[in-house]
Amino acid sequence: MIGIFDSGLGGLTAYKELHALLPAGDFVYFGDTGRVPYGSRSREILTRYARQDIRFLLRQGADVILAACGTVSSVVLDDIKSEFSIPLFGVVDASVNAALAATKNEKIGVIGTGATISSGAFAKKIAAANPHAAVTSIACPLFVPLVENGYIGRGCTVTREVAADYLAPLRDEGIDTLILGCTHFPIIADIIGDLLPGVTLVNSGAAAAAEVAAVCGKTSGSGSASFFVSDSPVNFDTVARVFLGGETIRAQKVDIEAY
């Protein structure tokens, strides 16, 4: 059973990729909608939340877990990995590898939440793998609320203007590759791509999904999927459809503070 968690529903973009790669796999997804957003929280709080999220998925029977959350992957995952006996993946390593493979001019951009960018996790791992690479990292704290409130689609002038503010330094640096270091960001990849023509966008959730699928290659299950959230699942369907592109799913509520 493959466990996937995120601060909210952005991680469903990674679930969608992984499910496409492993259609016979069994999945359990947890979205921490009762404590979203993670991107503005401190390391201390994020560590507690990530441990609880992982313990919940273990209790559901997960034997491999993907932290489909750029913030958790960047800020706490390396510190707590050794506490658990199952393979625990984040979105940083796979997308760093994908970006290094894609770049030609060794100028790489990273965008993510405030906590992700403050952690410097992406930049450090890129530097460790290729000391010649120049990394420009920009926090984009409004992208998550804009996506969650439906300010998406190529014609959305509000998100386009916010994105133009955030992305201007990346254009000035002449990057040729950009890591979307938050699983919400692929939803507005069209707007980001328009503002950075010729730049290769690395979807961190998709890169991590490919890495997990490679490890789970021989796994075949019953093709089941269950979804859990930590606040009322009333509007879950509506928002989930944004991330899954039409598929309707049901979620159950869990008291995550009990884990």
Instruction: Decide if residue 79 touches a copy of itself (CB under 8 A).
Output: no
Return the residue of 51, 81, 130, 141 that touches a copy of itself, per CB under 8 A: 141
Radius of gyration of the chain (CA): 17
Return the residue of 231, 237, 244, 249 that touches a copy of itself, per CB under 8 A: 231
Instruction: Decide if residue 142 touches a copy of itself (CB under 8 A).
Output: yes
x-or-dash string of contact with a copy of itself, 99-138, rule CB under 8 A: ----------------------------------------
The tokens describing 147, both together, are 């996506």
Element at 29 (helix H, strand E): strand 27-31
- Residue range at the interface with a copy of itself (CB under 8 A); choices 59-67, 82-90, 153-161, 178-186: 153-161
Catalytic residue list? 69, 182
Query: By the 8 A CB rule, do 125 and 96 touch?
Result: yes
- Closest by Cα among 68, 39, 48, 38 to 227: 68
**What phi and psi values does residue 137 have, to the nearest 5 degrees?**
-115, 135
x-or-dash string of contact with a copy of itself, 29-68, rule CB under 8 A: -----xxx---xxx-xx-----------------------
Long-range contacts of 233-242 (CB under 8 A, 24+ apart): 236/9, 236/33, 239/9, 239/148, 240/9, 240/12, 242/9, 242/147, 242/150, 242/152, 242/187
Residues that bind a copy of itself (CB under 8 A): 34-36, 40-42, 44-45, 141-142, 145-146, 149, 151, 157-158, 161-162, 231-232, 234, 257
